[in-house]
Structure 1
Amino acid sequence: MSQTSNFREVERLVNGMPTSDGAGVKLLRVLTQDLQRRLDPFLMLDYFHSDKPGDYIAGFPEHPHRGFETVTYMLAGRMRHRDSAGNEGLLVPGGVQWMTAGRGLVHSELPEQEDGLMHGFQLWVNLPAKAKMTEPGYRDIAPDAIPQLTLAQGVEVKVIAGSTHGVDGAVHKDDTEPLYLDIVLPAGTSFTQPLPPEFNGFVYVYQGNALVGGRRQVVKERQMAILETRPERNGVIVAAGDTPTRLLLIAGRPLREPIAQWGPFVMNSREEVIQAVEDFNNGRF
């Protein structure tokens, strides 16, 4: 990993699309549906950041999912989860909720605050065809259960999934092998991460400006950098310029399967999506 020529470069910058979801929660949809095949196995990334209660107070009332996993990572704020399998949990600052919808789950995510900052992310990770109808699952990961490490020059990394610098994250998944790192870069510092050449990956900057790749492509705050995928590129380097920077580094093994999505259902064919709608409407979730 010492050779700069091995680092992936930025293929494309994405600014995201302001939208609302749930009962009117305002957010930035960074990974949109048109990028699903390029960033397989990842289906969606939403970023929310507001201290205006009207932007988030109504939350996400009961709604169904089938065929994928949702990963909610809170930086600030409190969100209550309840689902049709009887799971309940409170997502707090620094915590993660990893939910496997599998064959079907109805859940709600509602703020437990009337004011203050609500700040975080929700990532959708696809499931392989063989696991789309698996039993639903839910895991609350407390902040102190997420491994953290401090590297040279004060670089800090939270290892939500995958592994880095000999530290295993809180989550491991066999099929997609997701890597999910939250990285804090003091001004003038850098971080490198090995990445299998076949993995798809991206960087999302949510504070400051990052320099990504051997060519030090500038990635501004609230921009996503899609990393190129080439056989000879086996790692990524991210750096901060003259200001502190925070970013997510997310990557995973592509499933290379058909993607058929209708709203909260992500299957492999139109027929499977139609069946999901029927099952939900007939109370089979």
Structure 2
Amino acid sequence: MNHTTFETPVVSRARTVERLVAGQPTSDGAGVKLTRVLTNTLQRRLDPFLMLDAFGSDNPGDYIAGFPDHPHRGFETITYMIAGRMRHRDSAGHEGLLSNGGVQWMTAGRGVIHSELPEQEEGRMEGFQLWLNLPAKDKMRDPWYRDIPSGEIPEFTRDGVQVRVIAGASHGVPGAVQRDQTEPLYLDLHLEPGARFEQTLDPALNAFVYVYRGGLSIGDTAVPVQRMALLANGGDTQGIVLQAGEQPTRALLIAGRPLNEPIAQYGPFVMNTRDQLMQAVEDFQNGKLA
């Protein structure tokens, strides 16, 4: 979905990089190899985001078993597929096929059991899964699900940068999904060599950039491939400025408004108190999430 009308933000006071983070190699589901970019040690700092996993392999042995049935409660999962095909099924009766450039946005709410299984036996499987917390008042809401094919993701190109607006808004172009309380911004940026990109950001939002092709600079800090740049908060900054290096570069820019609520997590359940977690486990064991 292409848009030709957009605003031109001016960011004269840009955020700096607080620190660079290297992801942790791990596996999940039935042994799928992935890199955990945003770990639970960063949940408070990057509130409302709970986790970001990056997966990418040309070896079917790394991904073919997929993610069989597993439960969630209390947050949202956003799966962005760069390459490959993944079938989603859940206990709320939703089913969809996630393919190149598409997004699957699922609100677990009070609970859902779902599976994500590859529908390919060879070739590259690559993408990201982001966990976005729900406010306390919404943790027990009804589950919700939306498949967003690649062609339905708003995008625009300007000054050597293609911008895919998955959530929030950029340069006046609204994204595919909006959320009132957490106000997530989720951009996939494709920068030509040497291209520059500016994005206005409320200084109260937590934000980070993850580079998955090439490399870029944020102010005086070089951000190489497979690194997350955690952006500094505070001050009277207006946004962020990204400068691509000598290679074509692709990066995710993600920001959100912190909930500032207690986070209690046990595996696939994220609530506000230990008692709520124990109830989630009990409900799962008693078949009340099905």
TM-score w.r.t. the length of structure 1 is 0.97
Q: What per-residue deviation string (whole Å, max 9, x for no partner) do you get for residues 52-82 of structure 1?
A: 0000000000000000000000000000000
Name which of 229, 252, 255 aligns with 2:233. 229
Task: Kindly indicate whether residue 129 of structure 2 is the aligned counterpart of residue 122 of structure 1.
Answer: yes
Q: State the match for 2:168 in structure 1.
A: 162
Question: CA shift at 1:131, angstroms?
Answer: 0.1
Of residues 254-263 and 225-234 in structure 1, the stretch that sits farther from structure 2 once superposed is 225-234
Structure 2 counterpart of 1:137: 144
SS of residue matched to 1:130: helix
Equivalence map 1:205-216=2 (5 Å): 205-212=211-218, 214-215=219-220
| 3-state SS, counterpart of residue 47 of structure 1 | strand
Match of 1:261 among 261, 265, 268: 265
CA distance in 2, matches of 1:251, 1:122: 15
Q: Report Cα offsets for 1:188-247 as digits up to 9, x if no partner.
A: 1110000001000000000001111x33x1001000000000131220011111111100
Amino acid at match of 2:278: I
> Residue deviations 1:32-51, cap 9 Å, x none?
00000000000000000101
SS of 2:96's equivalent in the other structure is strand
2:92 corresponds to: 85
Q: Residue 64 of structure 2 contacts residue 121 of structure 2 at CA under 8 Å; is this kept in 1? A: yes
1:60 aligns with 67
Matched, 1:26 2:33: yes
Number of the residue aligned with 1:193: 199
Q: Is this contact kept in 2: 1:209–1:218, CA < 8 A?
A: yes
1:116-152 per-residue CA deviation (whole Å, 9 max, x = no partner) reads 0000000000000000000000000011100010012
Match of 2:282 in 1: 278
What amino acid maps onto 2:146 in structure 1? Answer: R
Q: Which runs of 5+ in 2 are unaligned?
A: 1-8
Residues 198 and 231 in structure 1, CA contact (< 8 A), matched pair in contact too: no
For residue 86 of structure 1, what is the amino acid of its counterpart?
G
CA–CA distance in 1 between the matches of 2:71 and 2:92? 12
AA aligned opposite 2:194: G
- Output the CA distance in 2 between the equivalents of 1:245 and 1:11: 21
Runs of 4+ in 1 over 3 A off after TM superposition: 1-4
Alignment partners' CA distance in 2, 1:83 and 1:242: 43
Q: What is the distance in 1 between the residues matched to 2:184 and 2:146?
A: 16
Q: Which residue of 1 aligns with 2:5?
A: none
Q: How far apart, CA to CA, are the structure 2 residues paired with 1:85 and 1:94?
A: 25
Letter in structure 1 aligned against 2:155: Q
Q: Which residue number corresponds to residue 158 of structure 2?
A: 151
Report how far residue 2 of structure 1 moved.
4.1
Structure 2: distance between partners of 1:170 and 1:33: 27
Counterpart in the other structure of 2:46: 39
Percent identity (aligned): 66
Q: Is the contact made by 2:212 and 2:250 (CA closer than 8 Å) also made in structure 1?
A: yes
Matched, 1:15 2:17: no
* Contact map agreement 2:11 2:199 (CA 8 A) in 1: no
1:105 aligns with 2:112: yes
Give the secondary structure class of the aligned counterpart of 1:198.
coil
For structure 1, the 5+ residue unaligned runs are none
Q: CA deviation at 1:3?
A: 5.5
Equivalent-residue separation in structure 2 for 1:266 and 1:93 (angstroms)? 29
Q: Which amino acid is 1:158 matched to?
A: R
Q: Cα RMSD (Å) of the superposition?
A: 0.8
Contact 2:188 2:252 in 1 (8 A): yes
* Residue 55 of structure 2 is aligned to residue 48 of structure 1: yes
In the alignment, which residue of structure 2 is the partner of 1:174? 180
Alpha carbons 2:11, 2:198 under 8 Å: kept: no
Q: Does 1:76 align with 2:83?
A: yes
